[in-house]
Amino acid sequence: METILTYSQTDPDGVKNDGVKKLSKEIDCHPVIASLLYARGIQTQEEASFFLNPTFEQLKSPFSLADMDKAVERIHTAVFNKEKIMIFGDFDADGVTATSLLQDFLSHVDADVTWYIPHRIKEGYSFHPHHVDRAVEMSVDLIITVDCGVGAFEAVDAASDEDIDVIITDHHEPGVFLPKALAVINPKRDDCPSGLDYLAGVGVAFYLVMALRKYFRDKDVWNEIEEPNLLRYLDLFTIGTIGDMVPLVHDNRVLCMAGLKQMRLGERPGILSLSRVCRIDIKQMDSDDISFKLVPRINAAGRLSHARICVSHLTAANLYDAETTATLLDELNLKRQQIEKEIVLNIEHRLARDPSLLDHHLLLLSDSRWNPSVLGIAASRLSRKYVCPVILLSHSETQAVGSCRSINNINIHQALAENAHLLERFGGHTMAAGLTLKKENIDKLKSGILAHLKKQYIEDDFLKNFTIDAELSFEDITFDLAKEINGLRPFGMANPEPVFLCKRLRVVSSHIIGSLHRKMILQNAVSPSDHRVEAVHFNIGDTKNPPEYYERMVFKLKINKFKPNAAQIIIEDL
């Protein structure tokens, strides 16, 4: 499969630009670091200093969010009058961390508070009228949604009929109209002046807590109760923000950097116990550990059991209780991995029998045996492998439910929106979405999506694409540069981990580890010297005849976790 290599800037080695040279000198950094900052739009000394050493002083005011003033006043009244408050959350990592964070704060102020997370399969996403029935049974006076609710028109109306106030906190795309809630805090509202549209659901919840702390201070609440240090909530903010793959820029970056420091202290029993079952050294926790180890285990509960396990786990008061649920989350994740593996294997067999399924840059498949809760992960794996949008559906006799994952700049949410007349419901983002439709409409949906893709995109949009941040000479691949790159963390959306290109490398020695991975020592093939670099290539295709020479190599440069004073490169597949 052809791979297109593109550069993040027009100057391939990224260091000849006059602006880059100036920035490198001003902040005393390696020219490659200056080029990486420059390519991210960070082009002045002041911007670079804030990016590399962010402080809380630059955070936006929580009261810049539309309806925040209404929300904090109503919540203060509810706390003061001992009204029953229900936090209604979502079942993914963003939703459960947001629920846990708000539950933690309201418990601290001795509110009469409970929380509710819907079952992923039995109840589905978001806030619905039948949830109001449950709230009525529990004598709830105020419902606060987190990470959901901006489209919950019927539920909000049902709550109003029962004299239950609703405050919505959400970050998903709102429609033309908003529910008639007491307050709708969503930075993506057209009339919201905050500029915080990059927040995850847990981010909106955290800003609500920031505003509540200030409002409670003005009301002298902290004369009676110790004022909470919001630093201790930033571990939850960081997990939910990184887990939801929102842009790690501006306030998100500031708070995630502080959150990682908070996590490394190991003060929250739920996170400490989870890091242990993941075999993570919590003192070295980074964004990769969150993305690939913590978040999958948190999400596994919602996929295969019930996400309420996670809220109980993240709010556990002691390590003994947390260790029990951490083990359960680990077991659920192993089960999830096995189910996902079986689905992917089933699809690979189908493709082997009928390669034409991939002829039109769309893989849309359905099966009655598939567990719908893991289809998003399977679709993500397949979309990366076959470089095309993937839609996987689990169907009954009448209905199908599933997940979509996309590639490059192909907007799968837009494709669904153009075919909304065929869907019962759908939602999501540019690269990922969920949908429900009648089984009889599956073929029509496929035709509609194919027509959309053909109209909107060209062949090159479906080619594997690597963006190269800079071309390095072999002598540039050092521990010092790896250390400076580490200062750009945490990596994620809008701040991706840099990818480099180096040419003409020779393998000095190598061996296979774990049957599929190759560990190598590399040398400059053109001008051999004593300089050596360790490299790892995961999941190589041919372990018996691997190459001894690389005309070009695309890789990420890291500090070796097992040799903290050494650099290591992780090779990317082309």
pLDDT tens for the chain, 574 residues: list them: 566 667 766 455 555 578 899 999 999 999 999 999 988 889 999 999 999 999 999 899 999 999 999 999 999 999 999 999 999 999 999 999 999 999 999 999 999 999 999 998 888 888 999 999 999 999 999 999 999 999 999 999 999 999 999 999 999 989 889 999 999 999 999 999 999 999 999 999 999 999 999 999 999 999 999 999 999 999 999 999 999 989 999 999 999 999 999 999 999 999 999 999 999 999 999 999 999 999 999 999 999 999 999 999 999 999 999 999 999 999 999 999 999 999 999 999 999 999 999 989 999 999 999 999 999 999 999 999 999 999 999 999 999 999 999 998 899 999 999 999 999 988 877 888 899 999 999 999 999 999 999 999 999 899 888 789 999 999 999 999 999 999 999 998 889 999 999 999 999 999 998 888 999 999 999 988 899 999 999 988 778 888 999 999 999 999 988 887 899 999 987 6
Collect all residues with Cβ–Cβ distance below 8 Å to 344 and sequence separation of at least 6. 378, 381, 382
| Alpha-carbon dihedral angle through residues 86, 81, 186, 228, given to the nearest 10 degrees | -90
Question: Distance between CA atoms of 170 and 184, rounded to whole angstroms?
Answer: 8
User: Pairing mode, if any, of strands 183-185 and 112-116?
Assistant: unpaired
In the chain, where the domains are located:
3-9+467-571, 62-232, 354-462
- State the Cα–Cα distance between residues 259 and 268, nearest whole angstrom: 12
Q: Please state which architecture CATH assigns to domain 354-462.
A: Roll (3.10)
**CATH class of domain segment(s) 62-232:** alpha beta
Distance CA 35, CA 376 (A): 35
Contacts of 516 (CB under 8 A, 6+ apart): 538, 539, 540, 543
The matching CATH number, chosen from 2.40.50, 3.40.50, 1.25.40, 1.20.1290, for 3-9+467-571 is 2.40.50
Closest residue by Cα to residue 92 from 432, 417, 494: 432
Q: Which two tokens stand for residue 81?
A: 């009058």
Closest by alpha carbon to 506, among 525, 487, 482?
A: 525
Burial of 177 (0-12, 13-18, 19+ CB in 10 A): exposed
Chain-centre distance of CA 22, in angstroms? 34
- Could you say which DSSP state residue 430 is in? S
Note the pTM of the prediction, 2 decimals. 0.91
Backbone φ and ψ for 434, nearest 5 degrees, come out as -120, 155
